[in-house]
A and B are shown apart, each in its own frame.
Chain A
């Protein structure tokens, strides 16, 4: 039996597991390359479950998470990064903004 990608109760989010990206750079790269429809599909799948996801992850706070929970955490980071596009800007980036990748994370 192979270990499932995501915790069982969040199995339905498996199609979006490609948003489980380890670095901020990768998350930003994905944000600027995918279409607005893809972003919205990810947002629409995650947001109704977000309370539950956070409750689930909070149980692991301060501990090392199992790989499946960690993936869910990384997907949550991606959601936090792209939610503004759906909720505030209604477009793939901030209003009249420069390329986000010009901000180079140093650490």
Chain B
């Protein structure tokens, strides 16, 4: 496969997106942020974790979705099914589970008055039951939250009735990545960083390669395919119903440092793992609204990084970063994975400075629009998708 070096090709592929500037206000407006709460975060499928986070029956984790003011309990039942519930006891409303994750033996107990729920959310036991009025345990139980799993990724939907199934919602992304065997890659690390920026600014800052040769001039030096003028070019861009992907190729040879050389000597002995679902050597999938799956080929094997962007306020976001690798077969490979982790974190530390200063700059209100080039087309599409949900300008 060859990277298409032509200029302005994505506007030809997606003419309906047009090429004009994009309004800046949604990235710092309190009013817009308020609308996003109900019109995006309560109306889309939101990734909250992976099935490997709760491998055994009774394993659970809790997600406090601050943006929506909800606390969601994800638990694997004795029947193996992953379910989601509001993490709230139906007696007097105490938050049921206070730890972020844990494991129970078949049942959950609310410490306040010891109501007991099964790991499938049914109300099992009420102390002094006879002293209640018309209490029917059969009809009571933890309040369910729509929960579904695709390729091991657990998603929730906060609407009473989601307008689409998870599969319909993921659409072309699921078609592309079905069978990608994510579960072959194990979680190595999770990092959280508290970013002083709007969640969309963080999403945008990660969602293009235009900045690679500038902001990442040293850490990513020579890592990605560029044209004769030194600009990164994508192998392909695909826009799905709400989601997008851009893909990069690597240049024929990479910069080899003494450390990389020592780490690479057994690289040919590592088992080959290159999912055919990948488009380029690095595929950056944005799953609307706040989730990213970044698939990266390293050596003969493949790794994936995920980002979850958790808005706290219009100008504050928790950026959660998880990195997953195939089972290492040598110390060298363990260290190659650690090296990839360090390089990625270094890159993201550079991105942080951009995210926070873009937000600070936009929030001054000095510019009414941002100007996008052809390779920033995923941002153009993302902002259109945001606005399609929010309808701020539609009603104006």
Contacts and interface: CB of A to CB of B under 8 A. Distances in A.
A107 interface: yes
Given A80-B342, A84-B342, A98 B331 contact: no
B219 A84 contact: yes
A88 B219 CA distance: 6
Interface stretch (B66-74, B278-286, B346-354): B346-354
A35 B348 CA distance: 23
Interface stretch (B35-43, B135-143, B255-263, B375-383): B255-263
B353 A87 contact: no
Contacts of B350: 94-97
Contact of B349 (A24, A100, A105): A100
Contact of A58 (B221, B331, B356): B331
B321 interface: yes
A47 interface: yes
A82 to B, nearest CB: 9
Contact of A47 (B190, B215, B262, B343): B262
A99 B213 CA distance: 22
B342 A81 contact: yes
A103 B259 CA distance: 24
Interface string A1-43: 0000000000000000000000010000000000000000000
B346 A97 contact: yes
A57 B332 CA distance: 8
Contacts of A47: 258-259, 262
Contacts of A103: 191-193, 321, 345, 348-349
Nearest to A52: B262
Contacts of A98: 349, 352-353, 356
Nearest to B258: A47
Interface in A54-68: 54, 57-58, 60-61
Given A47-B259, A98-B352, A105-B189, A77 B338 contact: yes
Given A77-B338, A89-B218, A84 B346 contact: yes
Nearest to B338: A80
B17 interface: no
B14 interface: no
Nearest to B188: A107
Contacts of B329: 61
Interface string A67-107: 00000010011011101100111000111111110111111
Contacts of A54: 262-263, 265, 331-332, 335
Contact of B265 (A51, A60, A95, A99): A51
B189 A107 contact: yes
6 contacts: A50-B259, A58-B332, A60-B331, A84-B346, A106-B192, A107-B190
**In the complex, the 3 A-B pairs of residues with the closest C-beta atoms, listed nearest first:** A97-B349, A98-B352, A106-B190
Given A96-B215, A102-B352, 18 more contacts: A50-B258, A51-B265, A54-B331, A58-B330, A58-B332, A60-B331, A61-B329, A61-B331, A77-B335, A83-B259, A88-B257, A89-B218, A95-B215, A95-B218, A95-B219, A98-B356, A102-B193, A106-B190
Interface of A: 24, 47, 50-51, 54, 57-58, 60-61, 73, 76-77, 79-81, 83-84, 87-89, 93-100, 102-107
